[in-house]
Structure 1
Amino acid sequence: MRNHTLVTTFILLGLTEDPKWQIVIFLFLFMTYVLSITGNLTIILLTLLDSNLKTPMYFFLQKFSFLEISLTSTCIPRFLVSIVTMDKTISVEACFTQLFAAFIFGIAQFFLLAVMSYDRYVAICRPLHYTTIMNNRVCTLLFVSCCLIAVFAICPGVIVSLSLEFCDTIIEHFFCDYSPILKLSCNDTRFMQLLNFIFAIFILLMTLALVMFSYGKIISTILRFPSAQQQKKAFSTCSSHMIVVSISYGSCIFMYIKPSAEERIYLNKGIAILTLALAPVLNPFIYTLRNKQVKEALKDIIKKCTSATSK
């Protein structure tokens, strides 16, 4: 009997075996998960309810928040349950479902960041044509395209992964990531690892090139503005997005630093925590605290809610 027919479950080792640290990790991840869901849902509700936020920029911000919720929800709740129940097993089907869902939402985020930078380029560099170029139909098509590209991008990985045979069941991670799973395979996976590396770099560099091109045009246009006040206002509309881009790309680029094997395991776990737990918390605060319109919309919603409850 072939080995892969015997493997029906994997064991996720998590972050640590120390019971004291397990409690700390649970409390930290639970708090960050609640904050990320609350923050991103707040942005989604504000963009749906406030008429002043019915613009392409906030449409894409709403979709980005949806992807943030989806990405963190694929991994963090399952890990929190495993800490409480002390059950580290996960079925092979659930593991691959988690893996491919995380890939889809993650890839879609990178393409959406590129689309959001293009939106800022059109708004600043071609303001007279902005409403014509970035109409509702175009915005919807751009978001749907980001999702479809992500789905089609992982199809080769899905097809190849289904043919893998596994000789071990212990995954050195807290969720089903691609590289730790490949290490369990009985097959020679060197080509798959190289292909995965090239594919990931291609996605990162292609979307980053689009972002850099857009912001190169934006900066050159802003520097030609006659007044410092106009320049400051234009930069402020892009600053939040630039911070989020830096966090998103910075964390993923560091995934491909190649120190020793043991150090890389802990590096990847740390970056995964940053990507799946911390970034979804930080991004809503970055967009709300640095955006006057969002803060005003939040104040208006709070006033309406308080006035309704007082009556």
Structure 2
Amino acid sequence: MWRIIGQDKVVSFLGNSLGQDKLCHAYVFYGPSGVGKQRMALTFAQALNCQASQPPCQECLVCERILSGNHPDIIHLELLSAEDASDGKAKAEIGVKQVEDIQRAASLPPFEGKYKVFIIHHAEKLSQESSNRLLKTLEEPGSLNIFILLTADKSLLLPTVISRCQILELRYVEINLIRDALLEQGLAEEKAELLSHLSHGRIGWAMEAASNPEILEERKANLEKIILVLGQDEEERFDYASDISNLFAQNHMAAEAVLDMWLAVFRDMLLLKADASQNMTNIDYKDILYMASDKLGLADIRIAIDNILKARSQLRANANPRLCLEVLMLSLPLVKEGL
């Protein structure tokens, strides 16, 4: 039983490949961050090694160990954190030595299971040299090795790597399916409704947020700061731009997530203008955002959305973060009264 929500096409393909003994030696699972790529990879690893007549059973010791990360034949390759790196510095790329380690592991037979499964997280972070080393392994992988590359953007992988893999896309999941899955886990109806809207179709994110209260706490702090900045003048906005610029220097993804929240706020205002609040993201801030939208015209909101998208694009193109964010803050409309 795969227990994967909203990815029926991929589950069907993998299940049929396993049942017909037509497995590929390498796969790329691609799709937005938080959409459930890691869970799909782990479930596929379970299906490959489960001893039940209809794998994955999700109940045997093998399935449990794989899901908990304690199976010796399921090997994860990730960016090194500062704690794991020998020089004490977090890495921006997956290095050659890491790939050499899995090459050595791939040269040995499975310790316990039917297959060794190598799961490469953020595969787009493979350096050029690492990708070329991996390519040699993919050309002669061995019959009992399965490689799964996870990425949000398959276009960032080397074409030669892509050509040796089966490509499978994981798509956004419908909000109602995410809500129902959260309810089945015993989550309160109000929280399940909120998380399903906040998820933007990313079921992996929703499941993580359901079990980690810090995610919602951080989101609340960021959202309330956004609402505060909407009512502030240039000096405060420059200070805020400086804070986000500093965050960008430390963690690009975290800073982009803040910009995505700004985008969601103005998108919600646009939906409120169109009497389509059922499609809002920040449903718990509906009243506040309604008051804000009431003070803005449609043109103001659309221009704000365009400017946020432009700033995000410029940051990805290595524009000066401080200058880019200051220009953005000055371009956003002022909503001072009533918030």
Same fold (TM > 0.5): no
What's the TM-score bracket when you normalise by the shorter of the two chains? under 0.3
Per the normalisation by structure 1, the TM-score is 0.25
Select the structure of larger CA radius of gyration: 2
Task: Determine which structure has the larger strand proportion and give its number.
Answer: 2
Greater relative CO (CA pairs within 8 A, separation 6+) = 1
TM-score, normalised on structure 2? Answer: 0.24
